[in-house]
Amino acid sequence: MIKYSATVASAGTEFSPYLFKGNMIKTIEFCAENGFDAVELHIRKADDIDTSSIDKVCQKHNIKISTIGTGLGYTLDGLFLTDNDDIKRGQAIARLKEHIDIASILHCGVIIGSMRGRIPEGHKQDKERAMKNYSESLLLLADYAEKKGVTILLEPVNRYENNFHNSSIEMRDFIKKLGSNKIKILLDTFHMNIEEHGLTGMYDSIKECKDFLGHMHFADSNRRRPGAGHIDFAGILKTLNEINYDGYAAFEYLPWPEPEIASVEGLKYIKSLNISG
C-alpha cells in the first residue's frame, strides 16, 4: 500500500513547491490529524530543526518522517556536487552528511535533487571533471549512508531546471552504473510530465525503474495539487500497484490557494481514485 507524505520546508519563496513552510511541529500535528502517513522535511542545515522534538511529536501522533529534502542547500547556499571548486564541493558533501545524520535518527531517506548541481557549459574537460566529481561524491556519500542505515534518493529534474539526467531512464542507468544499493531513484510526476513521452511514457518509465524506485513526488502538470492539472493519477497509481510499490508518495507542489486546503484536497483527490489501496 502506498503511503502519503506532505512537504514542509524550513525556508523558501512563495514560488517554492512546498506545501508548508516554517513551524514543522505544527505541520506534523496537522498532517497527522488530516490523514497523512508521513511528512517530508526540507531543511537548509541540520540546526534548522530540533530532531529530538520532531521525533517525539511523530511518536505521539503516530506519524513518520518519510524523507529529508536537501535542495535549500543549493538554492540558498549554492552548494552542489558537480562543483569543480574542491572546497565548495567539500562543503556540499559535508552538508549532505549532516542530512544523512538526521535521517539516521528519524529513520528516513535523503533526497538529492537540486544539490546535484549542473554540468558546466563550454570545455569538454570541465564537463568530464564535473561528472567525475559528481559520481565520486555520490559514492562517498553512499558509503557514509550505508554505515548510517540511510538510503539516498536521486531525482531526475526537467530540462528547464537542470541540464543533465533529466529523464527517469537516464537516471536509472546512471544509478545502475554506480552500483550502490544505497542509491535509489525518486520519480516526480511534475518532471516526468515534461520529460517522458506522453502519459503512457510515464507509466512505462515507472515500470522500467521498478527495481530502483525508492520514492515518489506527486504534483500535477501545473505544479498544483493532484487533480488540478491534466496528469492521469489514476494511471500512475495503477502502475505503482502493478509493480508492488509500497513506499511513500510525497506531495511536493505549490500551496495554492493555501497550504491546508492544498494538502487536504490533494490527499482527498488521490484517495478518491480508490486505486492506491
Q: What is the pLDDT of residues 150-181, one digit of tens each?
A: 999 999 999 999 999 999 999 999 999 999 99
**29 classed as catalytic:** no
Q: Which of 40, 155, 195, 196 is catalytic?
A: 155
Q: How many CA atoms lie within 13 A of 110 on its CB side?
A: 34
**260 classed as catalytic:** no
Q: What is the pLDDT of residues 231-240, one digit of tens each?
A: 999 999 999 9
Q: Are 5 and 251 in contact (CB under 8 A)?
A: yes
Residue ranges of alpha helices (H) inside 13-123 are 24-33, 51-61, 72-75, 86-106
CA-to-CA dists, residue 177 to 138, 139, 157, angstroms: 12, 11, 19
Question: Model's pTM, two decimal places?
Answer: 0.95
List, in order of start, the domains of the chain with CATH numbers: 3-272 (3.20.20.150)
Residue with cell 526537467: 158
What is the torsional sign of CA 216, 222, 228, 233? negative
Q: Which of 40, 195, 196, 252 is catalytic?
A: 252
* Parts of the chain with a pLDDT under 70: 198-199, 275-277
User: With 0-12 CB in 10 A as exposed, 13-18 as middle and 19+ as buried, what is 125?
Assistant: exposed
Residue with cell 537548509: 44
User: Residues 252, 254, 260, CA angle at the centre, nearest 5°?
Assistant: 90
Residue ranges of alpha helices (H) inside 107-218 are 124-148, 168-178, 189-195, 198-208
Q: How much of the chain, in percent, has pLDDT values that exceed 70?
A: 98
